[in-house]
Structure 1
Amino acid sequence: MNYLEKFKGQGVELPPKSSIYEIAFAWLGGFISIFIIGYLTKSYDNLLVMGSFGASCVLLFGFPKSPFSQPRNVILGHFLSTFIGLGFLHILGNEYWSMALALATAIAVMLATNTVHPPAGSNPLIVFLLGVNWDYLVFPSLIGAIILVIVALFYNNLHKNRAYPQYWF
């Protein structure tokens, strides 16, 4: 198969659509998670909201069995990617090439440590765009990711056909 033929796709069927029950269950899980994080942010005047957490909710409540949704991946993926973003920002400065290096390094580190969480791939970009300090590693990145996993743990296990997580570490 030549290079351009690959662009046609492989003819694999679309995955089945989710039931209205599964959609509603995922909707409520995402709502509860961001509601709690938003409430804690407002109540304790501590930043816990991060844009990539929305995409984390898609995985945690829409695809809880995915390797990308497991606690190890969610927590360490967010932590490592944010740490790498902060390191590149504060050592090499806020330059487009430094941001690109941070993102590429975050991908490589998540792959090398088996902690891939695709939403966390946006964390280095978020760090650069906001120009945040090292405390961003704890609030919101680490604490927010832990809260998401705790909510997913309690919420997903309410469902009769779900058992979350598949593994821890």
Structure 2
Amino acid sequence: MKRLGAFFGKMKGAEQAPTRPHFHDIAWSWVGGSAGIGAISLLSIISKLPMLLAPFGATCVLIFAATDSHLAQPRSVIGGYLVSALVGVIALSLLGSSPWVVALSVGTAIAAMQLTRTLHAPAGAMPLLALAPGTDALTLLPTALAGAFTLIGIGLLVNNLRRDRAYPRYWV
């Protein structure tokens, strides 16, 4: 019973929620996120390919609002999308898209990102996209990489316009 109490006791949290960022920081996050998704939208129109993937919105949160996070660094963004999309496409090719394949693909993508030091939370959705009905798995990898590189490029521009910010913290 004591172990059960300790287990549930960990769920109450030990810290207060962070304070709201300064309006200046919020405005820069807005500019970056808008510019990043705007650039991908423009690429989508030019290429005539569906490039607006939902995980890119979450990537914008990391690159423009949590810039110092390990999850926001170029290695994690690009590598995470590459690894996770490959896991999804390979799983689909070899095993189909049954529920157990979908479940194991997400778990495998997480483990593969950890093994390769490319953990990027939004990229964890790539196996779900690869295995979703109607998805063109052949275009998923190039779309994911084009979006990742675009967001990193916009992140380099927008984040480094600020005097008090340097992005990225590391590349490799």
State the TM bucket, normalised to the shorter chain: over 0.9
The equivalent residue for 2:11 is 7
Per-residue deviation, 1:13: 2.1
**Structure 1 unaligned residues grouped into runs of 5+:** none
Mapped pair 1:17 → 2:37: no
Question: Per the alignment, do residues 132 and 88 of structure 1 end up closer, same or farther by CA in structure 2, a change over 3 Å counting?
Answer: same
Per-residue deviation, 1:6: 1.5
Distance in 2 (CA, whole Å) between partners of 1:157 and 1:168 is: 15
Tell me the C-alpha RMSD between the 2 structures: 1.2
The equivalent residue for 1:84 is 87
Task: Write the deviation string for residues 119-144 of structure 1: whole angstroms up to 9, x where unpaired.
Answer: 10111111112432223211x11111
* 1:17-166 correspondence to structure 2 within 5 Å: 17-129=20-132, 130-138=134-142, 140-166=143-169
Task: Write the deviation string for residues 62-84 of structure 1: whole angstroms up to 9, x where unpaired.
Answer: 01111100000000001110110
Figure out how many residues of one structure are paired with residues of the other and give that number.
167
Regions of 4+ moved over 6 Å:
none
**Structure 2 unaligned residues grouped into runs of 5+:** none
Identity of aligned residues (%): 37
Distance in 1 (CA, whole Å) between partners of 2:74 and 2:26 is: 22
Distance in 2 (CA, whole Å) between partners of 1:81 and 1:64 is: 22
Q: Letter of the aligned partner of 1:9 in structure 2?
A: G
Q: Letter of the aligned partner of 2:22 in structure 1?
A: S
Q: Letter of the aligned partner of 2:62 in structure 1?
A: L
